[in-house]
Amino acid sequence: MKYFDFEIMGLKRKLPYVQVGENLALASFVVLSDTELIRTVAPELLKRLPEVDVLMTAEAKGICLTYELSRLMGMKDFVVARKSRKPYMQNPVSHSVRSVTTQKEQHLWLDGCEAEKLKGKRVALIDDVIATGESLEALETLAKSAGANIVARAAILAELESVHRTDIIYLKEHYVFRPNPDGTYTPIESLN
């Protein structure tokens, strides 16, 4: 297996290349179990956030980062949009999304009780990586349908066209790659 040498805020990781399309590969950045990385990047991301009332993320990789941010902010909880409708959900709201990493249509669900936490609040949308922005857009649509005022969109990394967006906060650009016939990978900045 081939790896990409990745560094952020003094932490080094070897990220495996994962081919996600005929001419597209990612250096797989999975933060779910990387406590050290989350504890390192969360305070820096927090410095860049405006004043917010609620943090919101989508299941699953953004949960650990959102937890740490909410802990640092002294919040009692945060909101998670689920990837499937759960039997306990009352009056749920939903929105569909197709992201570059899942490569299929998914639905995000928000329990009516969770939606109430967003109504009229200043909300920051949190994710691990923002690539095409489709997942973020679905999360934003879901939050707005619940009456949220979106004041920030933040992630650890931005990829593709998202690095040029002025409406997102991120700590570092992360490359996507074009696989070469010789087994090497060439960084690319966009899918266009």
Separation of first and last alpha carbons in the chain:
28
In a domain, 86, yes or no: yes
In a domain, 136, yes or no: yes
Domain that holds residue 113: 36-172
The more confident residue out of 172 and 90 is 172
Residue 84 has pLDDT above 90, yes or no: no
- CATH code for the domain of 72: 3.40.50.2020
Mean pLDDT, rounded, of the chain:
89
As a whole number, mean pLDDT of residues 86-112 equals 70
Overall residue count recorded for the chain in this entry? 192
In a domain, 2, yes or no: no
Give Rg (Cα) of the chain. Answer: 17
Q: Band the pLDDT of 192: cuts 50, 70, 90.
A: very low
In a domain, 166, yes or no: yes
| Residue pLDDT, tens place only, 11-49 | 999 999 998 888 889 899 989 899 999 999 999 999 999
In a domain, 68, yes or no: yes
Tokens of 110: 């928000």
In a domain, 130, yes or no: yes
Count of domains observed in the chain: 1
Residue 189 has pLDDT above 90, yes or no: no
Q: Is 160 left (phi over 0), alpha (psi -120 to 50) or beta?
A: left
In a domain, 62, yes or no: yes
| Strand 54-58 versus strand 185-188 pairing type | unpaired
| Residue pLDDT, tens place only, 111-130 | 878 889 999 999 999 999 99
In a domain, 11, yes or no: no
